[in-house]
Structure 1
Amino acid sequence: MMTVLGCIVYKHNIWLVIVALLICGTGSWVTARLVRRAFATRGVQRAGWQFLAATASAVAIWCTHFVAMLGFDPGVPVSFDPLLTFVSLVIALAGSLIGFAVACSGFTRAAPALGGALVGLAIALMHYTGMAAYHVEGLVTWSWPYLIASIALSVGFGALALDCAARRADGSVAVVAGLFATAIGTLHFTGMSAFQVEPMAVSGHFSDPAALQALALSVACMAFVIVGAGLVSYLLDDSVRAESLEHLRSMALSDMLTGMPNRAAFNERIDVEMARAEAEGGRLALIGIDLNRFKDVNDLRGHHAGDEVLRILARRFASLVREDEFVARVGGDEFVGILRFARREALDDFLLRLETALFRPIRYDDWEVLSGASLGVAIYPDDATTKTVLVNNADLAMYRAKADLTRSVCFYEPKMDETARARRTLAADLREALARGQLSVHYQVQTSVPSGEICGYEALLRWEHPRLGFVSPAVFIPLAEENGLILQIGAWVLREACMRAATWMPPYKVAVNLSPVQFVHADLPALVSEALAETGLPPARLELELTESTIFADRQRSLDVLQRIKALGVSLALDDFGTGYSSLDTLRSFPFDKIKLDQSFVSEAQSNRQATAIIRAVLALGKSLGIPVLAEGIETQDQLDLLAGEGCDEVQGFLLGRPAPLAQLVQSGKIRLAGEPQTQLAAAG
């Protein structure tokens, strides 16, 4: 075989043989890439890639054959049958299409190999159809062993090529292209070894070798153009996919509102920076940033203003960040900074620039806001050796900075963990206290200033801890709000106060405070209605107190909730008036029945003229709107006299009575319980 094959190659024009081999190799490589893409897609896209792969395959098969044949010199005149030549091209294209369709069908695990065998068979059919179109002036004979071997080699290597292409793990493009080129090459040269010509003495007609070579080069050029078009389409699709993936990745790692890196980008960056810090022996600072008073901006100016504040801060951060520095937005008004550093001066400089950006006034439309922020810093590996602990420690430091009004930046200290653990323990104790009935309600008297008579009592929650003793509501109420316990506690206090008040004689009012969390997450009208129905307390004897900040999150919903509560016959009091927004629009828009003046103004009334002026203004406002005003925190007779002189309606404070359990009020005779003998009153509560 090698002797005959060498003879066949010897009879070829060596340059056209090289061109044919280039067509075969290039076409096979493009076909391999296109067919791999066909295996990786579905539906219409798969059909499109199959067509492109079949076109490249047909060009590689047909042009390799005919360029090689045009360079072949049998020593006798030759010609080509146009119809059979065209048919051979159709066989190459149709066979490739069918083969690739079968290979990608997935109807059986052997489908890729079966499809490849069909492509190999198409190569053989195309070759021998092309040979039938090749007319020579001589006696043609065929060597059947070589002919059968050529078909077997083409079918075998074709099956291997597509089976390998389907197995992406081990089917590289180079391997697939090599197998496909081998299928084409072995078919041609083995098939040509089977082709034998015995020249006949014929006078007159001789083929023109120069014309045949020119035709061969033209075919080769067209082959390269078509194969190149297939390659370009693949590369363009690859480029578009890469751009799309990069765009999607950028979107996934960017905050939609500000364009800053988001939490996902932060998690990716901190992993990289911690690894680099460990490898280089450096240190990494993680800075937790939480804006101050950002909720006030949303409440007073609307969420569009809050969004604009965030965008302005994002632009400031983008202008200050340098190489090896990183700032991301990880939550509503929460940001985080990362700095890998060797000298402490670099960290101090970064923190100074962050503070400058955060504390510089922000102008928006016709107003100006000074938000500021609390920054907590934790350093790797000094404060933590894992990402989770580092993030937690930065949060602890940030919360400490938020609680300390004297500084905006706080570095992590180990004792912060002790504080956090203590808060977690206290939260668990509070949950247990609620389950075991260890919470209690005390009542503080509210008195009419003109008559001196009792108007009602405010229900105040108290907790006597088994080990710690009395725990201030200022400590455990925020803890309950953070842990979601406030919903259960608030519902219990409401029912407890209504149940006890239903037995009071005289039938005083009872005032119950509402938490902002409770107002947002609970169906208050239904809860109040159920409490009144269960306890039998007349709605007119229940007063609910809430602060102005409670209703600002969603004014329309708040108005609807309060109107539904008012429809039950329950009265509403605006608590801590003067310390929050103190908006006149709130008093005009919402159905409040009482204004409670904050105790801070009463305590400063005798030493601060501004406090006195505010008291007078609030009392005048109440009278003009027809809303009674109750002043809190009355501790001295002078304070009471001042308020009486200014026309205050009601007062509440230690001077008139400290908060006390119901049993103590009953024992003192301030309250009697309906239907119980006087001797049994001390057992109440």
Structure 2
Amino acid sequence: MEERGEAPEMTPVHHLLHSHDPALLLLALLLCIAGAWATSRFFPRLVDSSGNQRIGWIFLTALSTGVSIWCTHFVAMLAYQAGTAVTFDRFLTMLSLVVAVGGGSLGIAIAGTGRNARVRPAIGGAVVGLSIAVMHYMGMVAYRVHGTVTWDVPLVALSVAFSIGVSAAALYVGRRAGRRSRDGMWALLVLSVLLLHFTGMAAFHVVPAASAGEGIDPESLRVLGMTIVFLSLVVISAGVAGYLIDSRGRADTVARLQRLAMHDALTGLPNRASFNERLNTDIEWARAEGERLALVVIDINDFKDVNDLRGHAAGDEVLRVIGARLGALTAGREGEFVARVGGDEFTALVRVLSDAEPGAFLTRLEEALSAPIWIQAERDEIVPRASIGVAMFPDDATDGAVLTANADLAMYRAKAGLQHGVCFYDAELDERTRLRRGLGADLRQAVARGELILHYQVQTSLQTGAPRGYEALIRWEHPRLGTVPPGSFIPLAEESGLIVPIGEWVLRTACAEAATWDPPYRIAVNVSAVQLTEQDLAGVVRDVLDETGLAPARLELELTESAVFADKERAQETLRAIKAMGVGIALDDFGSGYSSLEVLRSFPFDRIKIDRSVIASPGTEQETLAFVQAIMSMGRIFGMSALAEGVETPEQLAVLRSAGCEEAQGFLFGRPEPVEAIRAARTGDPTGQPVAAERVPEVAAGGAVDVPDEGVQLV
């Protein structure tokens, strides 16, 4: 039993707490927490940076770690009440600071660099923990007391183990991503310092000397401690300020990059990515509210001409002005959104809350787009025109991709129209455009896949009834649509430029086939305006003749009047070069449009092909006869023979014979067929083509030839 009034025996924990000044000890704890928090925020920046920036973050992280922990240790030592006079060895004290910062720099550099995110942080943390332990015990050696000092070695070893192990865990956790990792890092760093200090101080025992020497005044110790705390906080605050500035700079950079990623640099309008995001949002709104949404596609007409004729600077100015107008048009209107999604293409979204809303928006849109634009550099103005397509959700589509595609189709219909600036999606009208565009994409692969084939139609002498030649006619065996006639895909080929390789394939294939024929019939091949103006046609013809061995006199190229007038001078030069090789040239579809003596006089044609519209004209036989005779008279003036195409009835044949026409082709004499079918039908003729003299009596007895459907019609 203890006597009343006698103080109970204190445990080591109580002894440690009672042997420290509470105020200074609290300051040391707060300083440790502040330094550890700063270190945990600087360390991830070190990991993410590189080059000189990484070196800077290593220094800042190590400085905040080393200084804050050294100051924590120093203030805690000042808080310790040894019960005797105390002094400090200045050299060892400052050397301990160097060890803390230097060792911390090495450990943090190891932990924060390299690819191995498991082993390196632990090793680096162990180095940091070791440097802290060395700093602590070097400071303890610098702590001079007037008395006898003894150490509990196992506790010293335990304190070092605590410092190394917990510091290694702290940097290991800190290397992982996420806020929890950063909070875990600073908490473990604080725990490491506390365990080191209090375990180390438990191992430190002082037996005061009989006579106390002169030491530092307790009040001076407090002032010194406050000064050290202030200086350490200045260092930490400077680092935190740099961290905050860097964070703000990063935030500004991220915001700037995000704006660049979501906005068009030229006009400042939202871009395609931003539009897609808004489209999804507005569709969800329309579904939830049971309302409609209008998607508007805007394409600036003839914008390429602006760039080509006035330069790209003028084109950019036009786009900037239009972008500013569209931005002002929707500014402050919650239900309206506009974006630039391509070169001269803009899109808009309008939340439709009333039947009048789409129309009102489109009226304002057309007014904004059609106002003149002044080009300062050109000192001239441009009056823009736009084609606008509109599709409605959910009327025309129930998802964003289909809605956009349908608005595009409506826009293309508006662009193709002569007067319509705005077109709303129409399933019946626009489905043909969709099919046509899909067909254009398939056409690019048709040659490579061997889907294009040639049919041949006989050209017959009306005097003898014998074949004089064959016209090569291209067909497309589409894997899904079946036979696609040339009238459906040749315009697509011309628009896309595919007509050049396709035309060359037709020429080479037809000449190679004709070179095998016996008797040596003539082969006629059609040539488009694109081939005549954009290709070295004379060179291609020369190469094909050399390659296939076909005699030039057996080849005849057929061109329309529009083709030769597309670039008159180039066409004249090309056709003269081709004619000089001995190749024949025919004027196709004569009489179908504006035909004149000028075209016959200017170009070296050998033959006129009278269009089927002349033969099948609704007038009387006498009127048709007079028309054919007039054409043949013009041809004879310039030394050209005549061939009538599209002959289908004996009556038409009789008119041509009466007019003195030399040759004809049409269903009356033979349909276009693959060469294999022709050969199979006529084994006595190497080409297999039935002669016209045998066909005419049969047709005369049976009446007019029925014209079958030649395949899917798309134009």
Instruction: Identify the TM-score tier after normalising by the shorter chain.
Output: 0.7 to 0.9
Q: How does 1:226-375 map to 2 (within 5 A)?
A: 226-322=235-331, 323-324=333-334, 325-364=336-375, 365-375=378-388
Which residue of the other structure, out of 378, 392, 413, is the alignment partner of 1:379? Answer: 392
1:351 partner SS: helix
Whole-Å separation in 2 of the counterparts to 1:251 and 1:547: 48
Tell me whether 1:142 sits opposite 2:151 in the alignment. Answer: yes
Tell me whether 1:159 sits opposite 2:168 in the alignment. Answer: yes
Q: Match for residue 68 of structure 1?
A: 76
Whole-Å separation in 1 of the counterparts to 2:627 and 2:28: 109
Tell me whether 1:37 sits opposite 2:50 in the alignment. Answer: no
C-alpha offsets along residues 334-369 of structure 1, whole Å, 9 cap, x if unaligned? Answer: 221122343333332222222122223344335444
Pick closer, same or farther for the CA change 1:219–1:425 going to 2, 3 Å. closer
Tell me whether 1:99 sits opposite 2:107 in the alignment. Answer: yes
C-alpha offsets along residues 30-82 of structure 1, whole Å, 9 cap, x if unaligned? Answer: 11111122223344433332222111110121010112222333232211101
C-alpha offsets along residues 277-335 of structure 1, whole Å, 9 cap, x if unaligned? Answer: 44444433221222223344345445444343323322221221233422222223222
1:515 partner SS: helix
Whole-Å separation in 2 of the counterparts to 1:439 and 1:187: 96
Q: Match for residue 663 of structure 2?
A: 670
The answer on whether the counterparts of 1:396 and 1:417 sit within 8 Å (CA) in structure 2 is yes
Which residue of the other structure, out of 179, 198, 205, is the alignment partner of 1:196? Answer: 205
Whole-Å separation in 1 of the counterparts to 2:147 and 2:442: 107
Pick closer, same or farther for the CA change 1:366–1:549 going to 2, 3 Å. farther
1:168 partner SS: coil
* Residue identity in the other structure for 1:437: I
Pick closer, same or farther for the CA change 1:189–1:355 going to 2, 3 Å. same
1:530 partner SS: helix
Q: Match for residue 224 of structure 2?
A: 215
The answer on whether the counterparts of 1:442 and 1:462 sit within 8 Å (CA) in structure 2 is no
1:569 partner SS: helix
The answer on whether the counterparts of 1:374 and 1:401 sit within 8 Å (CA) in structure 2 is yes
* Residue identity in the other structure for 1:515: V
Q: Match for residue 391 of structure 1?
A: 404
Deviation of residue 126 (structure 1)?
Answer: 0.7
Pick closer, same or farther for the CA change 1:137–1:470 going to 2, 3 Å. closer
* Residue identity in the other structure for 2:245: L
The answer on whether the counterparts of 1:442 and 1:460 sit within 8 Å (CA) in structure 2 is no
Tell me whether 1:173 sits opposite 2:188 in the alignment. Answer: no
Pick closer, same or farther for the CA change 1:632–1:252 going to 2, 3 Å. farther
Deviation of residue 87 (structure 1)?
Answer: 1.2
Deviation of residue 180 (structure 1)?
Answer: 0.8
* Residue identity in the other structure for 1:349: A
Pick closer, same or farther for the CA change 1:495–1:126 going to 2, 3 Å. same
TM-score, length basis structure 2: 0.71
Which residue of the other structure, out of 472, 492, 507, is the alignment partner of 1:479? Answer: 492
C-alpha offsets along residues 229-270 of structure 1, whole Å, 9 cap, x if unaligned? Answer: 222222222222222233233333333444433323322332
The answer on whether the counterparts of 1:289 and 1:374 sit within 8 Å (CA) in structure 2 is yes
2:171 partner SS: helix
The answer on whether the counterparts of 1:116 and 1:161 sit within 8 Å (CA) in structure 2 is yes
Whole-Å separation in 2 of the counterparts to 1:383 and 1:565: 52
Q: How does 1:417-496 map to 2 (within 5 A)?
A: 418-420=431-433, 422-423=435-436, 435=451, 437=453, 475-481=488-494, 486-495=499-508
Q: Match for residue 427 of structure 2?
A: 414
C-alpha offsets along residues 490-548 of structure 1, whole Å, 9 cap, x if unaligned? Answer: 224444787899999999998722338x976x776764442343344279976877979
Tell me whether 1:14 sits opposite 2:22 in the alignment. Answer: yes
The answer on whether the counterparts of 2:454 and 2:473 sit within 8 Å (CA) in structure 1 is no
Whole-Å separation in 1 of the counterparts to 2:492 and 2:552: 30
Pick closer, same or farther for the CA change 1:3–1:465 going to 2, 3 Å. closer
2:356 partner SS: helix
Pick closer, same or farther for the CA change 1:599–1:568 going to 2, 3 Å. closer
Deviation of residue 423 (structure 1)?
Answer: 3.6
Tell me whether 1:118 sits opposite 2:127 in the alignment. Answer: yes
C-alpha offsets along residues 580-611 of structure 1, whole Å, 9 cap, x if unaligned? Answer: xxxxxxxxxxxxx99999999949xxxxxxxx
1:172 partner SS: helix
The answer on whether the counterparts of 2:128 and 2:167 sit within 8 Å (CA) in structure 1 is yes
The answer on whether the counterparts of 2:100 and 2:135 sit within 8 Å (CA) in structure 1 is yes
2:577 partner SS: coil
C-alpha offsets along residues 102-126 of structure 1, whole Å, 9 cap, x if unaligned? Answer: 2234458322112212211211111
Whole-Å separation in 2 of the counterparts to 1:97 and 1:564: 83
Whole-Å separation in 2 of the counterparts to 1:321 and 1:488: 47
Q: Match for residue 416 of structure 2?
A: 403
User: How many residues align structurally?
Assistant: 624
Percent identity over the alignment?
Answer: 40
The answer on whether the counterparts of 1:525 and 1:565 sit within 8 Å (CA) in structure 2 is no
The answer on whether the counterparts of 1:594 and 1:627 sit within 8 Å (CA) in structure 2 is no
The answer on whether the counterparts of 2:456 and 2:470 sit within 8 Å (CA) in structure 1 is no
Pick closer, same or farther for the CA change 1:303–1:429 going to 2, 3 Å. closer
1:437 partner SS: strand
Whole-Å separation in 2 of the counterparts to 1:73 and 1:598: 119
Deviation of residue 643 (structure 1)?
Answer: 12
The answer on whether the counterparts of 2:411 and 2:423 sit within 8 Å (CA) in structure 1 is yes
Deviation of residue 416 (structure 1)?
Answer: 4.8
* Residue identity in the other structure for 2:453: G
Mean Cα deviation higher: 343-352 or 413-422: 413-422
Pick closer, same or farther for the CA change 1:148–1:332 going to 2, 3 Å. same
Whole-Å separation in 2 of the counterparts to 1:142 and 1:428: 88
Whole-Å separation in 2 of the counterparts to 1:295 and 1:641: 47
Whole-Å separation in 2 of the counterparts to 1:472 and 1:306: 40
Q: Match for residue 575 of structure 1?
A: none
Q: Match for residue 91 of structure 2?
A: 83
C-alpha offsets along residues 597-650 of structure 1, whole Å, 9 cap, x if unaligned? Answer: 9999949xxxxxxxxxxx99xx79x99xx9899999997999999999x9xx98
Pick closer, same or farther for the CA change 1:67–1:473 going to 2, 3 Å. same
Deviation of residue 171 (structure 1)?
Answer: 5.0
The answer on whether the counterparts of 1:376 and 1:397 sit within 8 Å (CA) in structure 2 is yes
1:287 partner SS: strand
Deviation of residue 137 (structure 1)?
Answer: 1.4
Deviation of residue 161 (structure 1)?
Answer: 0.4
Pick closer, same or farther for the CA change 1:548–1:394 going to 2, 3 Å. same
